[in-house]
Chain A
Amino acid sequence: MKPLTYERPATLDEAVSLLGRGEVPTSLLAGGTNLVDLLKLDVESPQLLVDVNHLGLDRIDDTPNGGLMIGATVRNSDLAADPRVRERYPLLARALLSAASGQIRNMATTAGNLMQRTRCVYFMDATKPCNKREPGSGCPAVEGASRELGLLGTSDSCIATHPGDMAVALVALDAVVHFVAADGAGTIPIGDFHRLPGDDPSLDTTLPAGAIITAVEVPPLAFASTSTYRKARDRRSYAFALASVAAAIDVDGDTVRDIRIALGGVSPRPWRAHAAEELLRGAPATADSFRAAAEAELAAATPTGENALKVDLVVRLVTGVLLELTGSER
């Protein structure tokens, strides 16, 4: 770990000005569960840490339209335990609870979770080339250890995934990220928040430089009461997703009235399955149509030799989850 200094601002203004000063490479420190890990690995080496844990961003408030405004430093465990989240957004509660461990969820924050870096082994090993960590150095993953990596929205320069669970549920819910920067406040729809790599994988998100996330807004979605999150992984608990699905469904008789599907572990961006959703609106709520929609979504997949298993895995996860939600199977 490279030497650094630590500042603990007491107000958002102070934090923004510390971050905006730009004299030395600066990182925001929230729970530290990703950043401190990457500092130890010399994957990130800021010279100044600005602690965002004391800015009063730890509240979960009801919004006037029946949604929730989730503060940036609300801990993942507190968010999952919030009765409003458990009742109105089971997919979000289950995504949070399926992530990491009890200890890490107690530390991890809403904003830190969105901003967590990929778990690609080449990215996390500072002795290896990686276009994300060191632009232009190459991507050994495409031909190398790629079983965990992406197959949707990837490029020749990077096949890393966003590894998180929470953001997958937030993408299904059309959440909105709120931030402040030196030149004012702004918002980004969550679907536009994580970038696809193209030929520049160095930036994970569209968050402007110098911005601090203040909250994530989750709009109301009545049929989210019929929603869940399912995660396939190499051990039953305390492991990142090989693939995951967040889904909510509204069924009228035997017909799908409305549906939300997002996929995790398959792309640099929590992947909203727009194609599958479109096919399913108005379609019969049957295993056949669920499977056909999932297959259509995966038609654009560009798997590597090692992660080709994810194509089938995602189709089965989506089909299984939708059958579970429509009561056809448990």
Chain B
Amino acid sequence: MAEVQLINLTKRFGRRVLAVDHIHLTVKDREFLVLLGPSGCGKTTTLRMIAGLEEVSEGTILIDGEDVTYLPPRARNVSMVFQNYAVWPHMTVYENIAYPLRLKKVPRDEIDRRVKEVAELTKIAELLDRYPSQLSGGQQQRVALARAIAVKPKVFLMDEPLSNLDAKLRVHMRTELKAIHHQTQATTIFVTHDQSEAMSMADRIVVMREGRIEQVGTPEEVYEKSANMFVASFIGLPPTNFFYTEVRRENDALKLVHPYFTLTLSPEQAARLKDYTKSRLVLGVRPENLLLTTEDQALFSVEAMVVEPQGSHQIIAFQMDDQIVKIVAPAYPKVWPGERIHVTFRPERIRFFDPETQQAVGDEA
């Protein structure tokens, strides 16, 4: 199995487009790493560089310590599941899976054994004689997967392999992919722009924006300890609510003043922010960390604008000046639009951001 290292990796398209901007990343052996980011942030480009389909502009790619930056794709021992499956339409399912093995000069009976084996694993054993045009999207997707598994690569690359499936199948395939990863233990780099997919599958998530890495961490880390405002708002649905506040320092106490409320921070929080000298600070509060409470304990009171019942919980939206704030609250007691609600924060879950740099501040070291 294998470790993948990207050192200073950069890709330019012409002079203008900087698709991937000097990224450093180490993918650990056996890890399931997810590249996550909005459309056009350079996920596909990164993946294609690792596969050898795209020439590297700058930087180095190491697989298991070996420099593969300038090797052709076939010499890298990686396999890829493409977004559109890219199964070969003129070959049967069997041939699709067997062809890469034939290219690698695997003996005939070994090929047959492996094809049967991965077909079993991906549940396409009864489709082996069909042509791709006779398969559904989900089945083609499994063929692509089977083909990728059969070659026993050092690294699996997957570019939004689930994006063309319907919602139900997609969720189902997530589980299967994880199961397969569990069995094969192959280092996997999985690209998606669906954050819930990323959260549910990843060992670690890499959040990218405009060709740069914004944060690398476990799903919990990027969710709970978002490194900056972009990650905080990109991860989680509904996204993190931001409150722009004025900092008041009185003796040792720290007060954050917002047009709707004034929040006095706990001594520990204040201590963590003692190096922060700027006058403005952004509070980041996840929707589930905004709590409904009674009037006397409330930080502020507002009128609910929209309420979306979700069965297990409800999403309440209200307006603060021109900003929409969302709360995820238990399904009961039920809130009605127009109802006056009393809101407070779960104090220990508040995050702080510097409005100028957008970076998180006041984290424990």
Q: Do A and B bind each other?
A: no
Binding site for A on B (CB under 8 A): none
